[in-house]
Amino acid sequence: MNITKAVITAAAPNQRSLPLQTLVDRDGIARTVLGIIIGEARRAGIEGIAIVISPGDEDVYRVAAGEHGEQLTFIAQPQPRGYGHAVYCARAFVGDDAFLHLVGDHIFLSELAINGAQQLIELARDQGCAVSGVQATRETLLPLFGTVGGRRVPGTGDQFLIESVIEKPTPTEAEQSLVVPGLRLGHYLCFFGMHVLTPSVMALLHTQVQSGDEKSNIQLSPVLHELCGREKYLALEMKGRRYPIDVRYGLLTAQLALALSGCDRDEVLADLCELLAQRIPHTA
């Protein structure tokens, strides 16, 4: 399986500005969220990158991509028809190839010398199948993520054969269908925000698009649930953390995570201690 293309989705109307925000990365350099995500893909050996955007956003996204701007393919999602439809918009770009998929509203930090995208790609190449990154997540956060159920691959500590996928399940749904043996009580395997997807995913999305009308909302999780019933589909528990920036204080948390894992850790810790020592009264 040769994986040289990536698709980054960034077209959701309520989230389209998030990849344009600026953070200071682990090297102490100010970069946009988009630039950090593109760097994730480039370090994994990805050659071609497509960004799915809202119509009219190409110029601002090209600027936000910095040095990578002229090397990108921009694909407009004509109407906001859902996450799955956004991925489908890149169908012509990926062709019949497997591809890396990253969401535009997450920051990813690896605990290994190789980044998260490389971890996924290596397993997908080795096993010849689709692989989704997952992170053990407490049940109070289930409304934020797609969640998978399955069983651990014998002889591994971090690989799971996916048997079901539910988008943002309730705790009751998760308890009934998504419990994975070996996880801490009240924790489930939720999507990490990055996947290696096979051509079958685009074929299934095509069926969804063709069977609906032009206003149908197409989501990705139901398609991934169908995928696990058709072919081998693995989850990899990532050696690292994902930080969604579309939640309250998400950008702040992502910035702190970057800073505390980077070259300026001591300086940031000192500043944080000083802030914590101050008692600033809250005023309405």
pLDDT digits (tens, 9 = 90+) for 161-199: 999 999 999 999 999 999 999 899 999 999 999 999 999
Decide which of 3.90.550.10, 3.20.20.70, 2.60.120.560, 1.10.10.60 is the CATH code for 5-277.
Answer: 3.90.550.10
What is the predicted pLDDT for the residue at 137?
97
**Mean pLDDT over residues 42-58, rounded?**
97
pLDDT above 90 for 216: no
Domains of the chain: which residue ranges?
A: 5-277
For residue 78 the two structure tokens come to 């004509």
Chain centre to alpha carbon of residue 274 = 34
Q: What is the mean pLDDT of residues 131-137?
A: 97
* Alpha-carbon span 33 to 78, nearest angstrom: 23
Hey, what are 75's tokens? 């694909």
Task: State pTM to two decimals.
Answer: 0.95
Alpha helices in the chain (DSSP H): 33-43, 58-64, 83-88, 91-94, 116-127, 171-177, 199-211, 221-228, 250-260, 265-277
First to last CA, the chain: 57
pLDDT bracket for residue 284 (50, 70, 90): low
Backbone angles phi, psi at 205, to 5 degrees: -65, -40
- pLDDT of the residue at 215: 80
Is residue 214's pLDDT more than 90?
no
